[in-house]
Amino acid sequence: MVPSKSSGYLRQRATAKSKTKVATSIGGDEAVSERGTDKGVASKTASEGPVNEDDELTEEPDVTLQLTDNEIMAAQEHSQLVQQMLKAGSYRSMKVESLFGLVFIHTARGKRVILPPALWSVAFKELHGSIWAGHLRGPHTYGRDSQLYWWPGLHGEVNRWVRGCQECGIRKARPRQVIPPLRSLRGGDVGDRWALDVAGPYPVAEGGERYVIAALEYVTRYAVVRSVTRHTADDVTTFIMEDVVLKFGVFRELLTDGAPEMTGLVLDQLMSLLQAKQTNPVPYRPQMIGLVERFHRSWKDCVATFMADDKQNDWSGWVQCTPITQQTTRLWR
């Protein structure tokens, strides 16, 4: 669990880190001036009319980075793009209507709020740059964004924003396009198979933690993490019981590598008590449990983006926030 004092702390850090400048045009390839208009949307919606200065992309005060209905209503009332679509009643065969003061569009995936260009940057910061989003890739950000909002050319604008994100460009590297000669494991039922691994050591955190234990459920990709001071068999066993078994139920199979803390008598006794099977799927290279290893890379990228650069001792609190960045995106599941 995140320390009790971290609620306000996380929000302050997320707000400070997310205040980045927009390097490229949100609506197109042309730069947006301080009083400029969204030319990309104007070209895509020529039949609906151009977007004027009422729809300009401006810096919004982002105290919480969470858009409220009142903020969206006010922006929609001043947006020529939204008002033209509402007056027409449809956009490209999709129905547009006003419900509860908000303007919605009926897409193939359900009703979505039409977000005016003036709020695009705030939505991007909330759904990509906040600690709850974790600076994930374009498809993940689009999947999260499209569940809430809609505007013309949403997919392209999301990709432009992610490519222009300064934190992502500094931290993340392009993965190698290598397909290993391995077979996929059958998923089975939800909760039957979990993968577990320990990562570290890392710089000593404020609470003395140096290692991270992570477990992922193979079907839903649900992630559970805990930062610990040691990585003994007792610590691993305690993590399995408290964070996996007592919360999600008994599993049938546990995938681990050949680390000493994974092969102790304590863990063998726990597996016997649970009537579960512990396996090592890659005996010739025990550290290659791909699912949990990939999650280690994801949470490290996320934590490195938000933690303090000078001391690097606040990473333990950020680690607890990383599972939600994976579990709230449709692509991860």
Between the ranges 98-112, 162-176, 278-292, where is the mean pLDDT highest? 98-112
Q: Locate 303 and state its tokens.
A: 């934590």
| Residue-level pLDDT at 143 | 78
- Looking at the DSSP bridge assignments, the partners of residue 214 are 197, 225
Edge to edge, the sheet with strand 102-107 lists 90-91, 94-99, 102-107, 110-114, 149-150
Where do we find the tokens 């490290």? 300
d(CA 104, CA 56): 20
Reduce the DSSP state of residue 196 to 3 states and report it. strand
Q: Which residues contact 332 (CB under 8 A, 6 or more apart)?
A: 140, 221, 326
- Looking at the DSSP bridge assignments, the partners of residue 199 are 212
Higher local confidence (pLDDT), 4 or 238:
238
| 193-327 CATH choice from 3.30.60.50, 3.30.565.10, 3.30.420.10, 1.10.10.60 | 3.30.420.10
- Model pTM? 0.50
Statement: 18-171 belongs to CATH 1.10.10.10: no
Domain limits of the chain? 18-171, 193-327
Q: Locate 57 and state its tokens.
A: 């992309």
- How much is the average pLDDT of 87-115? 90
d(CA 247, CA 224): 10
**Digit-coded pLDDT (tens) for 277-328:** 988 766 556 556 778 888 888 888 888 778 767 777 888 888 888 888 777 7
Distance of CA 209 to the CA centre of its chain: 24
